[in-house]
Structure 1
Amino acid sequence: MACQSVSIINMDEQALLGLNPNADACYRQKAMVYFEQLKESQDAWEVCAEALAKGIYSDDHVKFFCFQEGKERWREGGGGRRRGGGGGERLMNSQPEKPFIRNKAAQVFALTFVMEYLTHWPKFFFDLLSLVGLNPHGVDVYLRTLMAIDAEVVDRDILHSPEEVRRNTLIKDGMREQVIPSLVESWYQILGAYQQSHPEITCQCLEVVGAYVSWIDLNLIANDRFVNLLLSQMSVEDLREEACDCLFEIVNKGMDPTDKTKLVESLCQVLQSAGFFNVDQEEDVDFLAKFSRLVNGMGQSLVLSWTKLAKGGDVKAAAEALRALETKVPLLLQLLVHDDDDISANIVGFCYDYLNVLKQDIMLAVMKKLTYDEEYNFDNEGEDEAMFVEYRKQLKMLLDRLAQVSPDLLLEAVGRVFNNTIQRWQTASFMEVEVAIRLLYMLGEALPASHGAHFSGDTAKTSALQDMMRTLVSSGLSGYQHTFFETVVRYDKFFLVEPQHIPNVLMSFLDHRGLRHSSPKVRSRVAYLFSRFVKTLHKHMNSFIEDILSRIQDLLELAPPENGFPALLTSDDQLFIFETAGVLIVHGESPAERKQALMRSLLTPLTDAFRLLLAKLASEREEERQAALADCLSHAVGFASRTSKAFSNKQTVKQCGCTEVYRDCLQTFLPALSCPVQRGSLRSAVRSFLHRMIICLEEEVLPFVPAASEHMLKDCEAKDLQEFIPLISQITAKFKDQVSPFLQQVFMPLVLAIFEVLCRPAEDNDQAAALEKQMLRRSYFTFIQTITSSGMNEVLANQGVENVERVLFTIIQGAVDFPDPIAQKTCFIILSKLVELWGGKDGMAGFPDFIYKHIVPACFLAPLKPSFDLTDAQTVLGPEFIQYLQQEYLPSLQVSPDITQEVCQVLQQPDAKVLKNYMKAFFQRAKL
């Protein structure tokens, strides 16, 4: 048949044939042209609507096109109410149409509803319902229309414009007010009427209920009449999967947590009574997959209810929700371990949420048990208090473990307890507030390292901590000394973010709440915490420096024994205060002159008091009083030394203009070295100060070293020498060539003093004396090692041949004879270095001979000693050494030529591991 032109006035019969996918290509082309022209026509929808209303065409593709045209026209804002009615009526009363035709018709009706309901057609549903009756075809289109309306108005997965969102809100409000009760009643009637005859319609209706329940009044659905009907359909094989889905949507409906708990529990009771909890007896895995999804929804709803009630402080209702939750655990586990993965997967959400509840429940229990008993005695802690402190440590470990698993949960739980308590801290008990602050403190260690400084990185975490810290420092809680200062210092980085809080916290440190608290224990702890606080935040304290120094001035005074009044702080506590004062001065923004003046005013009272006390000590005869005076003098030196810890590479003593101040201190303290009484403590204090000055004063300290050394070498005991050697080693390593002349001068006096002490007789069973000698011997060898490794071999070389030999023999003796692995290793390192320095052609005269006669034998004799650790042996190698071993030394030990050759070959191969293993085996054989 030849293709012909088309007309738009009436539906073209021949063009309609082209809608069939099996039609001839010519007709398909004609249809495309025709319908493109029809779409452009203003009368297109009227033509389509008339064709649908009169039932002119029986072809499904033509009907689909007509409805599609209606849908497109409605999308564009056209169409009309009366024009669509005939098609709908025919759909509801004629023979059933194909599903895709019914779906398309439902879309047209839904769009008609959306466009007309609020303005021209408020009775849309009543008109629609009047057409339904009990006709299955009409009910089908009615339900499909309701689902299409849900898609247009409610579906959250569809993106709507702001205008459409406003329109949809008005539509839902209008429906709730005008038609929802009637719609719900129609659903109830449909569910009851068709469950036997038309289960597919019942399933459709269940889907509609599930879709609409999220935004309508739940009481219309969640009532005995409706729920009993749904539960009865759970037992109908064709309906139960859809009934499960519908109940799931009901359970997921947002509502009051207490009411939700009651709803879920009532559902569970009925389901359990009906035998649905007997999962092992159910063979229908498709139904079980739906059922596990329902159980998952019920479980998660109970978790949500518990969380809301717990946060809201409704303890009783929260406990009921928790009990309801716990009774579902056996069912949860049955579904989780089911062989079918879909069934198991559907319950995982509930499982995860329940674990979170368990963790939160444990956290809350731990937080409660952390609280001090009312009987706890802070001022006089006895056995009971000690036991509770130990128990608290165990609880903290449990909290730390929970934090590793769920840091966010812990942060949230602590935040809830902290905020709830602090809001009412003035009426709450001391113990409640204390544990709230303690929990905030514990977070610092409990939260993973990834939280870093706690106030950078994850905004959610940092803001929660920051909010709690802000509350802590601005709520008048500084009276809780047991935990306030600890927490402030643990989170000192908070003040870098919000420095405006620093002045108030500083005052709490300085007044009766802190350093001047009535309890010595609190004062002592605050002294340490204050030093840490200032070290972190000194850059933000520049404008307060002199005020702080003025306020702590009386805490810096020495407390001489004749004072008679107990000091606020112990001498150990004062060390922290002096260091704090030093940090404030050194790191302030004042010019060097001002820093010098502040440092002098800080240290001059110490030096003045030192001179007076030293004069008193020299003339004091009573031993107890001597000890007290020496103790006070040592404290003065220690305080001055502690202030020097404030200096750094960026802020040196010299840059701060404080060199002269510390030189004056040295000048004042050094005479104590020659004090005839209480030498031990005084020498120790001054020696420690010299250690600090070597670091801080650099070469400015050198003029003081010879006189100090001379005093310290007089009348030495083993301990004196042992403590003096590190000082000389420090000077050697730091200044090297600058102190070479001094070292050459002091070397033999020091060595002879060491020899003299080591040679003193002692009782065989005096283990303390033996240990002192062992430590002194180690210090001696370490000193020699320092000299050789610093490239200052001239110090040793210039001591004269006799003295050099004497020293060398002590090193050989240390390598071989003394059962001290640490000393042996040091000696072999020294020997190795000396061979490197003096073993060549330009080395010390006679030393190569010493190598072969003494060093090489030592390398073999030492490993043969029972105390020698063969896993840590060291060997000196070289061509001449190999020759000497092969031709002289090994034959002298009666070693066979074969083994001698074997040893020498192994010594020359490059693999150190092979050498080590061979030598270990060699010496083990030799020991047998």
Structure 2
Amino acid sequence: MDEQALLGLNPNADASYQQRALAYFEQLKESPDAWQVCAESLAKGLYSDDHVKFFCFQVLEHQIKFRHGALSAAQQQLFRETLMKWLQTQMMNSQPEKAFIRNKAAQVFALTFVAEYLTQWPKFFFDILSLIGLNPRGVDLYLRMLMAIDAEVVDRDIHHSSEETRRNTLIKDTMREQCIPSLVESWYRILHTYQHTHSELTCQCLEVVGAYVSWIDLSLIANDRFVNLLLSHMSVEVLREEACDCLFEIVNKGMDPVDKTKLVESLCQVLQSAGFFNVEQEDDVDFVAKFSKLVNGMGQSLITSWTKLAKAGDMKNSQETLRALETKVPLMLQLLVHEDDDISANIVGFCYDYLHVLKQLPLLTDHQKANVEAIMLAVMKKLTYDDEYNFENEGEDEAMFVEYRKQLKLLLDRLAQVSPELLLEAVRRVFTSTMQSWQTAPFMEVEVAIRLLYMLGEALPASQGAHFSGDGAKASALQDMMRMLVTCGVSEYQHTSVTLEFFETVVRYDKFFIVEPQHIPNVLMAFLDHRGLRHSSPKVRSRVAYLFSRYVKTLHKHMNAFIEDILSQLQDLLDLSPPENGYPPLLTSDDQLFVFETVGVLIVNSEYTAQRKQALMRNLLDPLMGTFKLLLGKLLLEQDEERQSALADCLNHAVGFASRTSKAFSNKQTVKQCGCSEVYLDCLQTFLPALSCPVQKEVLRSGVRTFLHRMIICLEEEVLPFIPSASEHMLKDCEAKDLQEFIPLINQITAKFKGQVSPFLQQVFMPLVQAIFEVLARPAEENDQTAALEKQMLRRSYFGFIQTITGSGMNEVMGSQGVENIEQVLFTIIQGAVDFPDPIAQKTCFIILSKLVELWGGKDGLVGFPDFIYKHIVPACFLTPLKPTFDLSDAQTVLTLSECALTLKMIHLKRGPEFIHYLQQEYLPSLQVSPDIIQELCQVLQQPDSKVLKSYLKAFFQRAKL
């Protein structure tokens, strides 16, 4: 072997040596007999360096994986003998190989087994077992091989081809017939022999039993001698976690429901008599977590058996299984309330499924009702935060608790399905007692009490409003709790978790305030003062900004008397904070968006006159406009890039805030009716100059473009005078992305105003088209995926634009562009339909072509257009589907073919027999289509139902492509 190259295998070798080692590995992989050198060096132990040994096994792995078929029978024999020799040397070595080498060796043995067991090496296991006997080194490698074989043949998480799946099934069937009893016997001997001397081998063997039990005859394992051995391992500290996992796999095996019940029951009796059910006396939480998982598996297995038996109508056995299940509930409850959340989380599945069983029973016994109540109390207890939870800097532990809480919430929802009355009563008890003494209660108790009230909203089946009407008991209980929440003063509690839960709950049950509006002022104060928007925690302020907007949207009708107060209190939170202020604002710009929207909602929905609304809206937006002008002037003079970026962001926020206020308007309360048109027109005048700002173009254009979209919706035709100059600025020095984002604006104007904007569209049409062509024609790097994607999206946007123009019935927009320009545009549409393998764009192009045929293809259509139909549109309808990139198994492509069919249908509608004659006599013969197929196609084309043509064309092109 190349000793110099082998030096590069050392992780500390320099880069050139490592490169050489890599090249050498590739060379050995490709060489037909290099594996023999590696095999010999392993069998004879020529190298002591671990990395070289690993390297040799990698070469063998490649050989067996990819070149096994190329080996002669003699070479295959040599391969097997080499592996066995290596195995033999391992048992005699004074030092065992490193774990990573043993794992790689086991993988090579497993791959050899998979390749040869069914043909050349049926005695694989017998050869291994007779060689290793009970030698600890040999046993270790044998167990590693078994796990590697499990990964290759059984593991369901690994994707296998259908051929591999067939092969694996055959291997398992053959193993079951020939050697599984011998393997099981070897496992028993290993477990029995090494349980006190080699705990690591015993654990490995338990893992093997757990892996194989799912597909072998269970009676080989689930018998007295094996189970007793496993149970004895449960009492040995170093073995019991693995023994637990092994028992879990045994319990999880699919089997007849009656047999499964018997198995679980016998297992439980033995575990109980051995004292394992006394969970409180066990200090080892890792073991209890495993035990909890085992109990969960037993519980769920019994539930599966009960479900099957109940479905089959086997009353006797289903009753017995239900009784067995009920006896496990006390243990389940012990584990559910365990202070360690991992232990508790492991039993939630059993608990959830047990409640599902109770839900299906016609009547609950007193004992079952007591179980429901116990689960309820356990969930309430476990929902509680512990002292260590870090609210300011949430890490992995906190994230795990949040996930665990989600599981508990599912249990609570399920409890509500089983017994809504019980749940409501339990929550009411906890909530009332906690709220009566919130001043002295720890934060976690106060938080969980409010949290439970919050959770009832989803757990109890009712629409939002129905929580406070209809069903008397429930409505009054919720109403009582809400009244207590907002009057007991708990909003003053000094802990962020309680504060947030208070506001979340107030907003969840905002309909309560419609029933009892007298509480609104107090809650408004909480939102506006140190408890809410001025809280010391940024996290609370941020969340409250959003929740306040939701609260106001629901209840604005009840706030008329307080609007002026609210606005004056919010005044300083509405300031646009320029970057040079130097102190952080109370709210981030994202939070401020919600506040601006909230103020908009209050003004627009108030009972004020239009004049007053206008004055209030001007007070809100004038400061934004003033700051905007000031900052835009600064930006034009600013040289420093970082400062430019900060100023541009600030300008963008100003536009965004103004934009957000406009969301308050509706069909009932339009900008015009509220007298606010003038204010927003002033905003437009103020913001549009930013479009011609030479620096930070992308940020500024994006903000102003969004504002224009909003104004087209809100201001109606009053916005139109601003569109031409805005468009002119946006079409200057633009990139693909700019254009792609500008086109939807033009589409929006076209679709909304149609004929009103026709003169403007005629004027802007060619400049826009030329700007698009210019960007598309720019050369780009061959491998620049981003540029390629941007161009594809721009092309789609362009075709979408043409589709909007043609679809809005404004044929004069294109018709007025002069012959050369029209031709240029038409050719791009043909090109889009035929040349670019993008089914989304192709579909749009055929929709356009069909529309143009409808507009211009008749007797009095556009001069010269019929000629264009026959020379270009008809060929496009046939050439596109014949392209190799036109994939008829793709759903988008099939939609394109449908539009293609509709285009042909439209041509026939407009040109009649002349079109059929052209297809029969000229075009289809030029494609070498046989006369009978031409006849058939033309007949289908003349049928009134376009569905027939769509189906026919699909079959026609599928045939043509064979």
TM-score, structure 1 length as denominator? 0.61
Q: CA deviation at 1:461?
A: 2.2
Residues 541-564 of structure 1: per-residue CA shift (max 9 Å, x gap): 001001000001000001101100
Contact preservation (8 Å) 1:778, 1:822: yes
Whole-Å Cα distance in 2 between the matches of residues 609 and 414 of structure 1?
Answer: 51
Corresponding letter in the other structure for 2:475: T
**Residues 18-417 of structure 1 correspond to what in structure 2 (within 5 A)?**
351=364, 353-417=366-430
CA distance in structure 1 between the aligned counterparts of 2:361 and 2:722, rounded to whole angstroms: 76
Instruction: Pick which of 840-849 and 550-559 moved more.
Output: 840-849
In the alignment, residue 530 of structure 2 is paired with which amino acid? Answer: H
For residues 866 and 388 of structure 1, the distance between their equivalents in structure 2, rounded to whole angstroms, comes to 54
Give 1:844's aligned residue.
862
Change (3 A) 1:766 1:348: closer
Task: Indicate the SS of the match to 2:671.
Answer: coil
2:455 aligns with 442
Shift in alpha-carbon separation, 1:403–1:828, aligned structure 2, 3 A: farther
How big is the shift at 1:853? 1.6
Who is 2:921 aligned against? Answer: 887
1:765 corresponds to = 783
Q: 2:468 aligns with which of 450, 455, 459?
A: 455
Q: Is the 8 A contact 2:613 2:674 kept in 1?
A: yes
Alignment correspondent of 1:661: 679
Query: Which residue, out of 434, 454, 462, partners 1:421?
Result: 434
SS of the equivalent of 1:650 reads coil
Structure with greater Cα Rg: 1
Say whether 1:909 aligns with 2:943. yes
* Secondary structure in 2 matching 1:581: helix
Distance in 1, matches of 2:857 and 2:388, equals 76
Q: Separation in 2 of the partners of 1:841 and 1:352?
A: 84
Structure 1 485/450 Cα, relative in aligned 2: closer, same or farther at 3 Å? Answer: closer
1: CA distance, partners of 2:361 / 2:864 = 84
Cα distance, 1:452–1:540 mapped onto 2, change above 3 Å: closer
Of residues 479, 482, 490, the one that matches 1:466 is: 479
Pair 1:825 & 2:843 matched: yes
Aligned AA (1:397): L
The amino acid across from 1:559 in the alignment is S
Pairwise CA distance, 1:386 = 1.1
Contact between 1:737 and 1:792, CA under 8 Å: does it hold in 2? yes
Shift of the alpha carbon at 1:352? 5.1
Partners in 2 of 1:917 and 1:366 — Cα distance? 58
Distance 1:886 1:352 in 2: 82
1:457-486 Cα distance to aligned partner (Å, 9 max, x none)? 322222222111111111112132120101
Pick the aligned partner of 2:958 from 920, 924, 927.
924
Shift of 1:495: 0.6
Residue 717 of structure 2: which of 677, 692, 699 is its match?
A: 699
Q: Alignment partner of 1:482: what SS?
A: helix
Distance 1:811 1:398, change over 3 A: farther
Q: Which amino acid aligns with 1:395?
A: L
* Helix, strand or coil at the partner of 1:787: helix
How much has 1:843 moved relative to structure 2? 1.2
Question: Quick one: percent identity of the two aligned structures?
Answer: 81
Confirm whether residue 615 of structure 1 aligns to residue 649 of structure 2: no
Q: Shift of residue 406 of structure 1?
A: 3.9
**Which amino acid is the alignment partner of residue 776 of structure 2?**
L
For the residues of structure 2 that align with 1:738 and 1:458, how far apart are their CA atoms? 55
Give the 3-state SS of the residue equivalent to 1:562 in structure 2. Answer: helix
Q: Write out per-residue CA displacement over residues 177-205 of structure 1, whole angstroms, 9 at most, x where no aligned residue.
A: xxxxxxxxxxxxxxxxxxxxxxxxxxxxx
Residues 464 and 511, structure 2, Cα contact 8 Å, conserved in 1 = no
Cα deviation 1:440-467 (Å, max 9, x = unaligned): 1122222235565422332222222211
What is the root-mean-square deviation in Å for CA atoms of aligned residues? 2.3
CA distance, structure 2, for counterparts of residue 708 and residue 448 of structure 1: 52
> Of 934, 943, 959, which aligns to 1:900?
934
| CA distance in 2 between partners of 1:348 and 1:369 (Å) | 27
Match of 2:616 in 1: 598
Measured in 2, the distance between the counterparts of 1:885 and 1:409 equals 77
Describe the shift of the 1:912–1:795 C-alpha distance in structure 2 as closer, same or farther (beyond 3 A). closer
> Aligned to 2:426, what secondary structure does the other structure show?
helix
Task: Report the 3-state secondary structure (helix = DSSP H, G, I; strand = E; otherwise coil) of the residue aligned with 1:481.
Answer: helix
Structure 2 CA distance for partners of 1:786 and 1:357, relative to 1, 3 Å: farther
Aligned 8 A contact 1:617 1:630 in 2:
yes
Q: Which amino acid aligns with 1:466?
A: Q
Task: Note the C-alpha offset of 1:396.
Answer: 1.6
Q: Structure 2: which 5+ residue stretches go unaligned?
A: 1-315, 331-356, 493-497, 889-893
CA distance in 2, matches of 1:804, 1:643: 42
CA–CA distance in structure 1, aligned partners of residues 942 and 423 of structure 2: 63
Contact residue 821 and residue 869 of structure 1 kept, 8 A? no
Corresponding residue number in structure 1 for 2:691: 673
Could you say if the C-alpha distance between residues 598 and 451 of structure 1 is closer, same or farther in structure 2, counting changes exceeding 3 Å?
closer
Q: Flag the 1:427–1:712 CA change in 2: closer, same or farther, 3 A.
A: same
In 2, are the aligned partners of 1:489 and 1:532 still within 8 Å (CA)?
yes
- Judge conservation of contact 2:464–2:509 (CA < 8 Å) in 1: no
C-alpha change, 1:909 and 1:416, in structure 2 (3 Å) is farther
How far has the Cα of 1:828 moved from its partner? 1.1
Distance change (3 Å), C-alpha of 1:436 and 1:882: farther
Structure 1: unaligned runs, 5 residues or longer = 1-291, 307-332, 337-346
SS of residue in 2 equivalent to 1:552? helix
3-state secondary structure, aligned to 2:468: coil
2:705 maps to which of 687, 691, 697 = 687
* Structure 1 residue 353 displacement after superposition: 4.9
Residue identity matched to 1:883 = H
CA, structure 1 residues 388+896, in 2 after alignment: closer, same or farther (shift >3 Å)? Answer: same
Q: What is the DSSP-based 3-state SS (H/G/I as helix, E as strand, rest coil) of the residue aligned with 1:697?
A: helix
Q: Which of 494, 504, 516 is 2:522 aligned to? A: 504
Q: Structure 2: how far apart are the matches of 1:448 and 1:821?
A: 45
Which of residues 475, 497, 503 in structure 1 aligns to 2:488? 475
| CA positional deviation for 1:676 | 1.0
- Partner letter of residue 481 of structure 2? M
The separation in 1 between residues aligned to 2:637 and 2:715, in whole angstroms, is: 33
Q: How far apart, in 2, do the equivalents of 1:492 and 1:458 lie?
A: 18
The structural deviation recorded for 1:896 is: 0.4
Instruction: Please give the secondary structure, in 1, of the residue aligned with 2:581.
Output: coil
- The 1:821–1:401 alpha-carbon spacing in structure 2 relative to 1, beyond 3 Å, is farther
Q: Secondary structure at the match of 1:615?
A: helix
Larger mean Cα displacement after TM superposition, 582-591 or 874-883: 874-883
Q: Distance in 1 between matches of 2:464 and 2:764?
A: 54
Partner of 2:755: 737
Partner of residue 509, structure 2: 491
Between the aligned partners of 1:913 and 1:484, the Cα distance in structure 2 is 59
Are positions 1:645 and 2:679 aligned together? no
Partners of 1:922 and 1:448 lie apart in 2 by 55
Report if the CA contact (8 A) 2:560-2:607 is conserved. yes
- Give the letter aligned to residue 442 of structure 1: M
Give how far 1:405 is off.
4.4
Tell me by how many angstroms 1:586 deviates: 0.8
1:812-834 C-alpha deviation (Å, 9 max, x unpaired) = 11112111121111111111111
Residue type matched to 2:588 in 1? T
TM-score, L = length of structure 2: 0.59
Check 1:697–1:459 CA distance in 2 against 1; reply closer, same or farther (3 A cut).
same
Q: What's 1:576 paired with? A: 594
- Seen in structure 2, the aligned counterparts of structure 1 residues 923 and 677 have a Cα distance that, compared at 3 Å, is same
**Residue-pair matches, total:** 589
- Report the CA distance between 1:350 and its aligned residue: 6.2
Tell me how far 1:349 sits from its aligned partner: 7.2
Letter in 2 for 1:379: E
Please state how far the C-alpha of 1:404 moved relative to its aligned partner.
4.0
Residues 842 and 364 from structure 1, CA distance in 2 versus in 1: closer, same or farther, beyond 3 angstroms? farther
1:869 Cα offset (Å): 4.8
